């Protein structure tokens, strides 16, 4: 979770936080090292001072020790005990008999400290231990009183280390203060450096967003001779190349559209000719029969009925073509697609559901955003696909209508003129339990006048495809796992 939180921070925030983290870690390491070094030096200084004091007392008390001058030794002890950092003093002779001491010193020194110690090459022994009676760590220093390398006695002084706590606190407070000042300076330096580093990056971000919005005239104004300047020059060159490519792509697209229009017009003309040729052939044949004097009036009337019927069919075809060629009067508004689909389903159920044993289920995404579209177009799309599904299931079945929101990988990545679009895509699905559509017909069912029905016009699904294409969307057809046709419509949110 912490890693995810860091990834969500801006580059500037990460730079500053990383810089501060490095400063804090560095200061912490240096502070610990400095404190350890200070502590070692301070303890060494205390030991040396205590050793000098003890050796001085040995030199001044050597004669009283040898002569067992108790009075003089006690005066020395009384004088030194005025030092608040001295916990105890113990003076012994060569037989370790006590000559003088502070109050009951021998009773409060652990045996482990006063036990037999073999003198080393140095004429003193230094020990540090915790004394429960004095509730303090003690620096115990024992110095032997020697004459011609012969031990005549010893002086033991215990120095309390309680006062060192105050010094440690002072040292820690000083380290904390120094660290805080260093951190404040580091923050200021990090902010200045981040402006130097992230400033050009922010310019890049602003420019890329403008270019992503379609303005390929945008340039990054960075004149430095460093890596940012080189990157800016490369970026501006890339934008120029994109602008040229866009213009070339737009021209190529227009040429392609023109060719597709001509090809579609030729195919449409061929289909219209086919649709008109058959009725004209029937009309011509019927007219020849009518002109035959050998037929009776009943047959002539029946033949004239055929002629009128075919003329009506031609009139219907031409009427449909004229309506298809006429531009639609659109009323584009922000529309809740779920509500429009629900209204379409209710309309169908109230008008035609009694003719079919069909059940319609809904699986609508309640979080679907509004989309700018003519709601009548959504209504036409829904009713056309529902009618086709019902006609494919004369014995009954079910239809599932669903909506959801997806990233726009299934929709065109840009508008026909090459400008980018929001990749959010609304997906509308229609799935029935009918016999399905043969795979070789998937590309044909949206072609005008193509139909597999005996009395179909072949314009329903082609009209659906035309409406969706006008909104730069996409429609696809597939077969469900348990048979049945699946129509999937992709409409860009933007």
The owner of tokens 């006429």 is: 326
Whether 309 is in a domain gets the answer no
pLDDT at 4: 47
Whether 313 is in a domain gets the answer no
pLDDT of 321 above 50: yes
**Tokens standing for 102?**
């502070």
Whether 205 is in a domain gets the answer no
With beta carbons less than 8 A apart as the criterion, state whether 83 and 95 touch: no
Contacts of residue 289, Cβ cutoff 8 Å, sequence gap at least 6: 295, 299, 300, 303
Confidence band, pLDDT 50/70/90 cuts, at residue 272: low
Which of 12, 171, 93, 107 is CA-nearest to residue 179? 171
Q: What is the DSSP string of 176-192?
A: HHHHHHHHHHHHHHHHH
Whether 52 is in a domain gets the answer yes
Distance (Å, rounded) from C-alpha 51 to C-alpha 409? 84
Whether 405 is in a domain gets the answer yes
Predicted structure pTM score:
0.40
Q: Which of 132, 166, 200 is the last residue of a domain?
A: 166
Q: Which of 137, 166, 195 is the last residue of a domain?
A: 166
Q: Indicate the range of 33-47, 170-184, 265-279 predicted with least confidence.
A: 265-279
CATH number at residue 118: 3.30.450.20
pLDDT tens across 153-199, in order?
889 988 888 887 787 788 888 888 888 888 888 788 877 777 776 67
With beta carbons less than 8 A apart as the criterion, state whether 126 and 4 touch: no
Comparison of pLDDT for 74 and 18, the residue scoring more:
74
Where does 68-110 have alpha helices with state H?
70-80
Whether 87 is in a domain gets the answer yes
Q: Which of 150, 166, 182 is the last residue of a domain?
A: 166
Range of the domain at 67: 9-166
Whether 74 is in a domain gets the answer yes
CATH number at residue 424: 3.30.565.10
pLDDT tens across 352-375, in order?
655 678 888 999 999 888 888 888
Q: How many domains does the chain have?
A: 2
DSSP 328: P
pLDDT at 418: 43
pLDDT tens across 206-215, in order?
777 777 666 7
Whether 456 is in a domain gets the answer yes
């Amino acid at each position: 979770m912490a890693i995810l939180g860091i990834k969500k921070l801006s580059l500037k925030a990460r730079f500053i936080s990383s810089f501060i983290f490095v400063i804090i870690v560095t200061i912490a390491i240096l502070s610990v090292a400095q404190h350890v070094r200070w502590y070692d030096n301070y303890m060494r200084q205390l030991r040396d001072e205590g050793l000098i004091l003890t050796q001085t007392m040995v030199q001044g008390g050597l004669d009283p020790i040898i002569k067992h001058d108790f009075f003089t030794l006690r005066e020395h002890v009384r004088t030194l005990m005025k030092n608040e950092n001295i916990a105890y003093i113990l003076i012994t002779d060569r037989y370790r008999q006590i000559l003088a001491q502070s109050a009951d010193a021998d009773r409060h020194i652990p045996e482990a400290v006063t036990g037999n110690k073999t003198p080393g090459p140095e004429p003193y022994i230094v020990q540090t231990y915790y004394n429960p009676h004095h509730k303090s760590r003690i620096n115990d220093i024992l110095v032997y009183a020697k004459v011609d390398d012969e031990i005549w006695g010893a002086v033991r002084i215990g120095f309390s280390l309680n006062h060192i706590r105050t010094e440690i606190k002072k040292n820690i407070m000083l380290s904390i203060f120094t660290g805080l000042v260093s951190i404040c300076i580091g923050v200021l330096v990090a902010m200045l450096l981040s402006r130097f580093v992230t400033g050009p990056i922010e310019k890049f971000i602003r420019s890329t967003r403008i270019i992503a919005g379609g303005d390929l005239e945008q340039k990054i104004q960075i004149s430095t001779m460093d890596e940012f300047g080189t990157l800016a020059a490369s970026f501006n060159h890339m934008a120029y190349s994109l602008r040229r490519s866009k213009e070339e792509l737009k021209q190529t697209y227009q040429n392609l559209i023109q060719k597709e229009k001509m090809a579609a017009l030729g195919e449409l003309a061929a289909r219209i000719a086919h649709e008109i040729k058959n009725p004209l052939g029937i009309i011509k044949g019927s007219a020849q029969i009518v002109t035959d004097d050998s037929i009776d009036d009943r047959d002539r009337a029946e033949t004239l009925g055929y002629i009128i019927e075919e003329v009506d069919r031609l009139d219907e075809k031409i009427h449909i073509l004229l309506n298809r060629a006429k531009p639609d009067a659109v009323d584009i508004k922000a529309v809740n697609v779920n509500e429009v689909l629900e209204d379409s389903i209710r309309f169908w159920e109230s008008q035609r559901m009694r003719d079919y044993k069909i059940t319609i289920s809904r699986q609508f995404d309640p979080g679907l955003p509004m989309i700018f579209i003519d709601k009548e177009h959504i209504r036409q799309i829904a009713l056309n696909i529902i009618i086709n599904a019902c006609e494919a299931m004369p014995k009954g079945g079910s239809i599932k209508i669903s909506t959801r929101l997806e990233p726009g990988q299934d929709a065109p990545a840009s508008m026909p003129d090459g400008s980018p679009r929001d990749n959010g895509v609304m997906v509308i699905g229609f799935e029935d339990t009918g016999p399905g559509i043969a795979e070789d017909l998937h590309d044909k069912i949206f072609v005008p006048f193509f139909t597999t029905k005996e009395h179909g016009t072949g314009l329903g699904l082609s009209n659906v495809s035309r409406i969706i294409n006008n909104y730069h969307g996409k429609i696809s057809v597939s077969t469900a796992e348990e048979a049945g046709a699946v129509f999937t419509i992709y409409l860009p949110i933007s």
